[in-house]
Chains A and B, each alone.
Chain A
């Protein structure tokens, strides 16, 4: 018996050790260090709660925090609303050949780096950009309008950059949805809205939740898009962290913010899972 078990254990360790090292060295260890630093004073290096206190006493910090959370939820919701019909079209309506093409079309923008994609939007939308010269050219606008640097543009940019991460998991579950379920519901008297509400969305819930979690975390932690496309006087919370660590060189304050962001995303995901009665283990599958 013992001689049987030995090789299985070794192979387990061979595969487990790289994963463990990766998780431990790159994620757990830095976080432990950040956690330690967040409780230290920036000058004194003694234990203090001042870094966390600063967050609650300075309105600019927690207002940015709430704003970031709200916009992340909004972006996730918009992405979901767009992705559901897109996924339905790809899995249920388009022909087999077209399906592959449409998937490639969704993937193509992600072959380009996020920075280039955002600059693409800027070329289109800025005051001297393509859209402005077109609209002025055909006479709709009298003079160019600045379309960048406001919240609407920022939300649009965030929606655009995170679409893929919602569409793919939803396609995964929707592809398994038997067409006859939709037909059976129709046969039993359900109209289109009811079929979506009672059959398609509940069936796709694991995919919807895993897509939502990915999109929400990506948006909440994104830096580039809000910074380049968002308004000058409205900050994203990641920029606050960046400012603390890079601009003010206050690692301790930055660490505290980082931890608050981690707590926030965990809390919101936990609430969302509870509200939709989904289990985390099923959603991440």
Chain B
């Protein structure tokens, strides 16, 4: 049996002049799921969200919420609510009035409103905060009030427009976990847009990676990370080392990847770009093993110089340059004291299993325009 769909988007398109912001998108979100749309700024994710909320009219296609077509229905009549990037709490009202605002617009009055607001305040961990002014709250508390203000209306879908963007790093880490726990607790479908891949991965059941108006891939975070479907996803989700290589064949008809310096690398069995001359090979930093002791026979091993140690606690990495090359590679540096002997300017060996690499045709697109 198929699970009920909270949100169903079909062939959705939005143009601004000649610019296609959202390009023929089709996807479904099941009831009660945490669904993220991940993409760089300008990829059309905010436009998509605003069309679901009803602030923009699509040029083509439809938005269905709980199997009801939302065409022509204004934002105040849709069973969805939007948590704004700037939160948009009403500064002239206190916390209680902010949360009760939507209920009052529905004509609810009296003790019922009070009960609902207080239950919601408790649920987001802010009991006794009703009479506080919005300006008295910290960033994280404002966040929770903004979410409570929407959830109290029991929307079918809660839309969140990068609500963690304005918080500082430590609080953001904390709120990621809080938000995930809250979503599990209330069971409302969340549609969350962000440019931060870590936010999307940590919280979501499904992530759609969006690029110039279309979805590159829609999958679970694990699948996105381990088997990216395109060059864009590979580069945007998590870190990756990129090798631009040519395809060569040796005397016994075995394919190899050859760098412009002439190094040859083994390819995985699943390699399927046999018809292209050149391609990109991607290897995750954590797939790169420092000084491998007992490698498999087809392990790729290169000699490299350590340029710098990028110490960052559990996320520490080495910046290395393969010999005779200008390229820079990033290698995960496990902090289990095993590699404490490595110093900058040391020569080390780096190895990886060809099965851990992924291969895509060369794409000249850049994720960020200001990237060199």
Contacts and interface: CB of A to CB of B under 8 A. Distances in A.
* A188, A191, A202, A203: most-surrounded residue (chain B CB, <10 A): A188
B92 A186 contact: no
A188 B92 contact: no
A202 B85 CA distance: 23
A185 B92 contact: no
Contacts, number: 57
A188 B150 CA distance: 7
B90 A178 contact: no
B75 interface: yes
Query: How extensive is the interface on chain B, given as a class?
Result: 20 to 34
B105 A188 contact: yes
Nearest to A182: B88
Interface in A169-207: 178, 180-181, 183-191, 194, 198-199, 202-203, 205
A187 B90 contact: no
B84 A189 contact: no
Contacts of A202: 92
Given A187-B53, A187-B75, A194 B105 contact: yes
Contacts of A185: 90, 101
B157 to A, nearest CB: 12
B263 interface: no
A187 B90 CA distance: 13
Contacts of A189: 76-77, 102, 105-106, 153
Nearest to A184: B88
Given A180-B84, A194-B105, A186 B90 contact: no
B101 A188 contact: yes
B189 interface: no
B82 interface: yes
* A181, A187, A199, A202: most-surrounded residue (chain B CB, <10 A): A187
A282 to B, nearest CB: 12
B81 interface: yes
A187 B76 contact: yes
Query: How extensive is the interface on chain A, given as a class?
Result: 10 to 19
A188 B91 contact: no
B195 interface: no
Contact of A190 (B76, B81, B85): B76
A189 B152 CA distance: 13
A189 B104 CA distance: 9
A80 B201 CA distance: 52
B149 interface: yes
A184 B92 contact: no
Contacts of A181: 88, 90
B11 interface: no
A187 B82 contact: yes
Nearest to A194: B105
Contacts of A203: 91-92
Interface string B77-95: 1000110111010111000
* B54, B88, B101: most-surrounded residue (chain A CB, <10 A): B88
Nearest to B92: A202
A190 B149 CA distance: 13
A99 to B, nearest CB: 21
Given A186-B55, A194-B105, A199-B92, 10 more contacts: A180-B84, A183-B55, A183-B82, A185-B101, A188-B153, A189-B106, A189-B153, A191-B76, A202-B92, A205-B92
29 contacts: A178-B88, A183-B82, A183-B88, A184-B82, A184-B84, A184-B88, A185-B90, A185-B101, A186-B55, A186-B74, A186-B76, A187-B54, A187-B75, A187-B76, A187-B81, A187-B82, A188-B81, A188-B101, A188-B105, A188-B149, A189-B77, A189-B105, A189-B106, A190-B105, A191-B76, A194-B105, A198-B101, A203-B91, A205-B92
